[in-house]
């Protein structure tokens, strides 16, 4: 078990954003978390990353308790890496500099060079634009950069927050193929996504979050064929 969240509660002032959430992620899986806007999906990822304080509950990552860490900025060095919602690339820095930021905790120069070469092989467009200001990339290219920057940290568990948001349908398909590809090379993935159809199609396991509570769970296929999920999330 690479990640186990137990009875997690998060409050924003008087708002109870996450209510006794339990999720489990096995090594090697793609686990998708679906739910409408404001359900608490991003709050859950940000709490796992140590960016939001939990009121109570526990988060075990690789058998270590990581809830409310003193130094969340060091979590990537343990292999827990997040691609934030909205991509959050560093404007005013080149594509190459953005990629190096992903490796800021690494000391293995040869390994970094090798991983850069792998990124450029996987995303030739980033190689072509490596000296360009990252802010001038298209939305799809920025998403590829955000994912690549995370890969430079050598993730064991990759947290992806709404990677298809704002992208054209053709690019959405490409992003989901990339996610599958990253998983096939050995990275475990926890995916938060409003595109329920695509997220469930690639998921080994999936959870439905509604107003801070897990209301359904099962395999991706089980949830795809669930009448409740079809009605609310798949337009069935």
Which one, of 147, 145, 211, lies nearest residue 176 by Cα? Answer: 147
- What pLDDT is recorded for position 232? 86
- What pLDDT is recorded for position 66? 94
- Tokens (6 digits) for 24: 């489990």
CA pair distance 86, 102, nearest whole angstrom: 17
Can you say how many angstroms the Cα of residue 146 is from the centroid of all Cα atoms in its chain?
A: 11
DSSP 62: T
- What pLDDT is recorded for position 87? 74
37-51 pLDDT per residue, tens: 889 999 999 999 999
Which one, of 52, 79, 39, 77, lies nearest residue 159 by Cα? Answer: 79
Name the pLDDT band for 236 (thresholds 50, 70, 90): low
Task: Classify residue 60 as exposed, middle or buried by CB count within 10 Å of its CB (0-12, 13-18, 19+).
Answer: middle
Sheet holding 3-12, edge to edge: 15-25, 3-12, 56-61, 64-65
Contact 80, 159 (CB under 8 A): yes
- What pLDDT is recorded for position 59? 97
Provide the Cα torsion 68, 73, 77, 83; round to 10°: 90
- Tokens (6 digits) for 108: 């293995």
Name the pLDDT band for 225 (thresholds 50, 70, 90): very high
Across the range 133-142, mean pLDDT stands at 92
CA pair distance 54, 48, nearest whole angstrom: 9
- What pLDDT is recorded for position 40? 93
Sheet holding 157-161, edge to edge: 80-83, 157-161, 188-192, 30-34, 205-210, 213-218
- What pLDDT is recorded for position 44? 96
39-96 pLDDT per residue, tens: 999 999 999 999 999 999 999 999 999 999 899 888 888 999 999 887 788 989 999 9
141-195 pLDDT per residue, tens: 999 999 999 999 999 999 999 999 888 888 898 899 999 999 999 999 999 998 9
Domains of the chain: 3-233 (3.40.50.300)
Tell whether the torsion through CA atoms of 124, 127, 132 and 134 is positive or negative.
Answer: positive
**pLDDT above 60: residue 21:** yes
- Tokens (6 digits) for 150: 């995370």
């Amino acid at each position: 078990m690479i990640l186990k969240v137990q009875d997690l509660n998060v409050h924003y002032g008087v708002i109870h954003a996450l209510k006794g959430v339990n999720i489990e992620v096995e090594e090697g899986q793609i686990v998708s978390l679906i739910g409408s806007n404001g359900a608490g999906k991003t709050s859950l990822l940000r709490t796992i990353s140590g960016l939001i304080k939990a009121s109570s509950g526990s988060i075990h990552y690789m058998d270590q308790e990581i809830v409310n860490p003193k130094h969340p900025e060091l979590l990537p060095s343990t292999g827990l890496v997040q691609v934030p919602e909205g991509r959050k690339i560093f404007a005013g820095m080149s594509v190459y500099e953005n990629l190096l930021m992903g490796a800021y905790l690494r000391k293995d120069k040869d390994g970094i060079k090798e991983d850069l070469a792998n990124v450029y092989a996987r995303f030739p467009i980033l190689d072509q634009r490596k000296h360009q200001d990252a802010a001038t990339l298209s939305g799809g290219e920025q998403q590829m950069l955000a994912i690549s920057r995370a890969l430079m940290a050598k993730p064991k568990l990759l947290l992806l927050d709404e990677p298809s948001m704002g992208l054209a349908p053709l690019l959405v398909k490409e992003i989901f193929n990339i996610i599958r590809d990253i998983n096939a090379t050995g990275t475990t993935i926890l995916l938060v996504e409003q595109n329920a159809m695509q997220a469930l199609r690639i998921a080994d396991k999936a959870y439905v979050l509604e107003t801070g509570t897990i209301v359904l769970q099962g395999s991706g296929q089980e949830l795809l064929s669930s009448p409740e999920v079809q009605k609310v999330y798949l337009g069935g």
